[in-house]
Amino acid sequence: MMQHFFIENNSLVWRGNGETLMIQPWGPNSLRLRSRMMGDILNEDFALLPNPPAHGPVQIEVEEQQASIVNGKIRAELDYDVWFRNCRIHYYNQEGQLLLEEAFHYGGLKKYAREFTPLPGGDFRLSVNFEAPEDEKLFGMGQYQQEYLDLKHSVVEMSQRNTQVSVPFLLSSRGYGFLWHNPAVGKAIFAKNFTQWQADASRQVDYWITAGDSPAEITERYASVTGTVPMMPEYGLGFWQCRLRYWNQEQVLDVAREYKRRGLPLDVIVVDFFHWPKMGDFRFDSEFFPDPKAMVDELKEMGVELMVSVWPQIALTSENYEEMRQLGLLVRAEKGNQVTMQFPEDSTFYDATNPRARAYVWEKCRKNYYDIGVRIFWLDEAEPEFGVCDFDNYRYHLGNASRVSNIYICLLDAHGLAYMMEPALREDRQ
C-alpha cells in the first residue's frame, strides 16, 4: 500500500495532492499545525516562541489510512480519505471528548477543510474550515468596537486599525485555545454551522491549539508559547500624569512641581505627541524644549520618570525623510504617491519589519531621548494607522501588507519594546 503518513523529527507528517501537512508538539498539552501547498514547511515563528518543550513523552502512531499524535492532554487524529485523497483532522482532550474537528468535504460540494486559492506571485488566499457546535461559546480575538463578549455568530476582521487590535487567539467553552498564527489580513467567521479562518494572502496554513481543564490553564499555555510580560517596575505601578499634550518644557515641570508642592504622589509624567518639530524627527523641538536633559534631571530629582511618545510616521518634510527613503527604510505604496498618511501633513511610515530601519530609529531615539535619561517609551500609532486601509497597496521589507501587516501585533505581543528598538535596547536590558 502507498504510504501517506510519516514520522519525522518527533512530528506527524501527511503528504498528498501536492500538500504537505505537519503536526508537532509545541509546549505542554499543545500542538502546532502547518500545511503548505507545493512546497516544504516554512519555519516562521511570528508570535510563537521557537519550539518550546512538550514537558512529557509524545506518542505518534501511523497506520495505512489513519494516524494520531498525543501530547499531554491533547490528541489529534488524522483520517485519510481514499476517494477524495485528502486528510481530515479531529482534536480530542485526555478524556476522549471531541474539542474541534475539520469540516467534512460534503461529497460532491468538494468543500475541503484547507483551501488554497493561488494568487499571482506564489502566495495563496487561504481558508481553514471547522465544524461548529451550536452551543459552543467563543471568547478573545483582541479589541473590537462591539459589545459582544461571546463571539459566536460573529464575523471578525483580522487587521490592525485605530481602536481595533486583532489578536487572533480564541478561547472555547469546549476546553481548547486556538491561535491563528498568521500575520495576514483576513477574517474569522464564527457561524452557527461552521467556523472559518481566512488569510487574504499567505504561504502556508499555520495554527496552534491547546487543551486545558480551565480557562486559566488554557491562557497559561498560550502565554508559555508566545511569551510573558516582564514584571512592571515599581514606578510603573504608581500614579501617571498625562494630558493630550504638554507644549513646552516649563509646562511639564510646573505640573510636576505642583504635585510635589501639594504632597501628592507622582511616579510618571507623559509627554505625548508633537513635542517634536516634524513627524519622524524623533527629538524634542528645541524652540519649546530648550534643555530636555535638565527637564529629565529635575523630574528624576523629584522621583518622577518621564515617558515620551514615539510615533512611526515620517513626514515628507522631516529632517530624516530623504535619508530614510534613500536607504529603503520606509513602507512603500505599491502604486501611486508615496504617501500613506496625511495627519497632520503628507507622511509615510518607517518599516518596522526591516532590521536596518529598527536600528536607524533606535539610534535616533537613543541619542535624543535615552542618552538624556528617558527610560520609558510609548510606541503610539503602532497599527500603523494608514490613511486608507488598502492593505494590498503597501509593501514592507517582509512582503506585501496583505500578507504580513498583522505582524505588528504579533511582534509587539511577543517582544514588546525590544522589537522596535532592537538591538541596542536589548543589550541595555541585559
pLDDT tens, residue by residue, 186-197: 999 999 989 999
Q: Kindly give the pairing relationship between strand 240-241 and strand 268-271.
A: parallel
Q: pLDDT tens for residues 207-263?
A: 999 999 999 999 999 999 999 888 888 888 999 999 999 999 999 999 999 999 999
Q: What per-residue confidence (pLDDT) applies to 409? A: 57
Better-predicted residue by pLDDT, 315 or 105: 315
* End-to-end Cα distance, the chain: 56
pLDDT digits (tens, 9 = 90+) for 70-82: 999 999 999 998 7
Helix, coil or strand: residue 178: strand
Per-residue pLDDT tens for 338-393?
A: 999 999 999 999 999 999 999 999 999 999 999 999 999 998 888 888 889 899 99
| CA neighbor of 18 nearest in space, from 113, 81, 86, 102 | 86
Give the residue among 192, 166, 191 at the shortest CA–CA distance from 179.
166
Secondary structure of residue 30 in the 3-state scheme: strand
Q: Which three cell numbers stand for residue 175?
A: 476546553
Has residue 398 got a pLDDT over 60? Answer: yes
The CATH code for residues 5-226 is 2.60.40.1760
Question: Domain residue spans in the chain?
Answer: 5-226, 234-429
pLDDT at residue 2, as a whole number: 76
User: Which residues are CB-contacts of 99 (< 8 A; sequence separation ≥ 6)?
Assistant: 74, 91, 92, 93, 172, 174, 175, 176, 209, 211
Query: At 107, is the pLDDT very low, low, confident or very high (cuts 50, 70, 90)?
Result: low
Domain 234-429 has CATH 3.20.20.80: yes
Name residues whose C-beta falls within 8 Å of residue 401's C-beta, 6 or more positions apart in sequence. 185, 331, 391, 392, 393, 394, 395
Confidence of residue 168 (pLDDT cuts 50, 70, 90): very high
Q: What whole-number distance in Å separates Cα of residue 66 and Cα of residue 88?
A: 10
Most confident of 43-57, 157-171, 290-304: 290-304
User: What pLDDT band is residue 318 in, cutting at 50, 70 and 90?
Assistant: very high
Percent of the chain surpassing pLDDT 90: 77
Residue % of the chain over a pLDDT of 70: 94
Distances, alpha carbon 153 to alpha carbons 178, 188, 207, in Å: 17, 11, 21
User: Residue 413, Cβ neighbours under 10 Å: how many?
Assistant: 18
| Nearest Cα to Cα of residue 164 among 359, 336, 383 | 383
Find all residues with CB under 8 Å of 313, minimum gap 6, and list them: 279, 280, 341, 343, 347, 348, 349, 381, 384
Residue-wise pLDDT for 325-340, tens only, equals: 999 999 999 999 999 9
